C-alpha cells in the first residue's frame, strides 16, 4: 500500500498572479484571526496558536514562514528557529527545551523545525534507535495532546520536494553569494541520506498523526503553490479548532473567500 508521503502530488502548480492574490487575502484573514485570539477585537483572549514547520532542506520553510508572518505585528507572533540542542538542553528530557516557547492564551508561536527532529535527524544519525524512536513518538503524541487539551491550537506542516528539485535549489544557493550561507556540508550529507529520511518520515507520520494534531503534507515543488496552500490550510485548521471550542469566529472582512 502506498504511503501518504509517497502520494504527495508534486505536480501541483500555481501562477504568480493567482498566488499573490490568494496570499494577500489569506494574510488579511490571518491578521483578523490573530487579533481575535489576542483579545484585541473586543473579545476575550483565545487559545494560543502553535505552527510547526518541518521539511527537507531547501523545501521552502523560510519563505512560507515569511508569508505567514508578513502581515502580523511583530509583537503578536514569535518565530523560533530550532537548532542543535545545547549541552544544558541535552541534560533534560528532549521535550524540555521547547516548553518556554509554547504560546499561552492569546499568543502565537511559529517553530522552524521542532521536536520532530527526534524522529528524523536524530534517528537517521543513529542517536536514537528504533525502539527509542517509537517511545519518543508516544511521548510526542501525549505532549501534543496535553497542549491541545490545555488550550493550544496546534498545526503541523511537512513541506515536500523531489530529489531533483532539491538538487536544483542547492546548486542555486551555491551560486548566489547572498544565499551561500544557507548551504552547509551537513545539508549535502543529509541529502545523501534522503531515503533514510523518507523512511523515518513515513514512520513518524504513522506514529504521530492523531486526532488532536493532524499532519498536513504539502507539495513544495512549486513555491507559489506551497505558500498559498500553507496559509489557506492554516486558516482552515485554525477556524475549525476555534469553532470546535465553542468560540464564535468573526466572518472574514471585505467578502474575502477565506472563512
CA-based torsion, 126, 132, 138, 143: positive or negative: negative
Gap between the Cα atoms of 42 and 30, Å rounded: 17
Ordered structural domains, the chain, with CATH: 4-251 (3.40.50.300)
Gap between the Cα atoms of 100 and 98, Å rounded: 6
pLDDT of residue 219: 98
Give the other-Cβ count within 10 Å of 76's Cβ: 16
How would you write the pLDDT of the chain (259 residues) with one tens digit per residue?
789 999 999 999 999 999 999 999 999 999 999 999 999 999 999 999 999 999 999 999 999 999 999 999 999 999 999 999 999 999 999 999 999 999 999 999 999 999 999 999 999 999 999 999 999 999 999 999 999 999 999 999 999 999 999 999 999 999 999 999 999 999 999 999 999 999 999 999 999 999 999 999 999 999 999 999 999 999 999 999 999 999 999 999 765 545 4
Helices (H), the chain: 16-37, 61-69, 87-90, 121-124, 130-149, 163-175, 185-192, 194-208, 223-244
pLDDT of residue 254: 60
pLDDT of residue 47: 98
pLDDT of residue 1: 72
pLDDT of residue 2: 84
Give the other-Cβ count within 10 Å of 164's Cβ: 10
pLDDT of residue 159: 98
Gap between the Cα atoms of 124 and 246, Å rounded: 42
Nearest to 104 by CA among 42, 38, 33: 38
Amino acid at each position: 500500500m502506498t504511503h501518504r508521503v509517497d502520494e504527495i502530488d508534486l505536480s501541483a502548480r500555481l501562477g504568480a498572479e493567482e498566488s499573490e492574490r490568494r496570499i494577500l487575502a489569506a494574510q488579511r484573514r490571518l491578521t483578523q484571526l490573530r487579533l481575535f485570539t489576542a483579545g484585541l477585537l473586543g473579545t476575550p483572549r483565545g487559545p494560543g496558536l502553535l505552527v510547526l514547520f518541518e521539511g527537507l532542506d531547501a523545501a521552502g520553510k523560510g519563505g512560507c514562514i515569511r508569508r505567514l508572518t508578513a502581515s502580523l505585528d511583530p509583537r503578536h507572533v514569535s518565530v523560533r528557529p530550532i537548532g542543535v540542542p545545547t549541552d544544558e538542553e541535552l541534560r533534560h528530557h528532549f521535550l524540555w527545551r521547547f516548553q518556554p516557547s509554547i504560546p499561552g492564551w492569546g499568543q502565537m508561536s511559529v517553530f522552524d523545525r521542532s521536536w520532530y527532529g527526534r524522529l528524523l535527524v536524530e534517528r537517521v544519525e543513529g542517536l536514537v534507535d528504533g525502539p527509542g524512536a517509537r517511545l519518543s513518538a508516544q511521548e510526542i503524541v501525549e505532549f501534543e495532546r496535553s497542549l491541545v487539551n490545555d488550550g493550544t491550537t496546534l498545526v503541523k506542516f511537512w513541506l515536500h520536494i523531489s530529489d531533483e528539485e532539491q538538487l536544483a535549489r542547492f546548486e542555486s544557493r551555491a551560486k548566489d553569494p547572498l544565499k551561500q550561507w544557507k548551504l552547509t556540508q551537513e545539508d549535502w550529507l543529509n541529502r545523501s541520506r534522503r531515503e533514510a529520511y523518507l523512511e523515518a518520515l513515513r514512520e513518524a507520520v504513522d506514529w504521530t498523526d492523531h486526532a488532536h494534531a493532524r499532519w498536513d503534507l504539502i507539495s513544495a515543488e512549486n513555491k507559489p503553490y506551497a505558500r498559498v496552500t500553507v496559509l489557506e490550510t492554516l486558516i482552515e485548521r485554525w477556524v475549525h479548532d476555534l469553532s470546535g471550542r465553542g468560540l464564535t469566529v468573526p466572518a472574514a472582512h471585505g467578502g474575502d473567500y477565506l472563512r
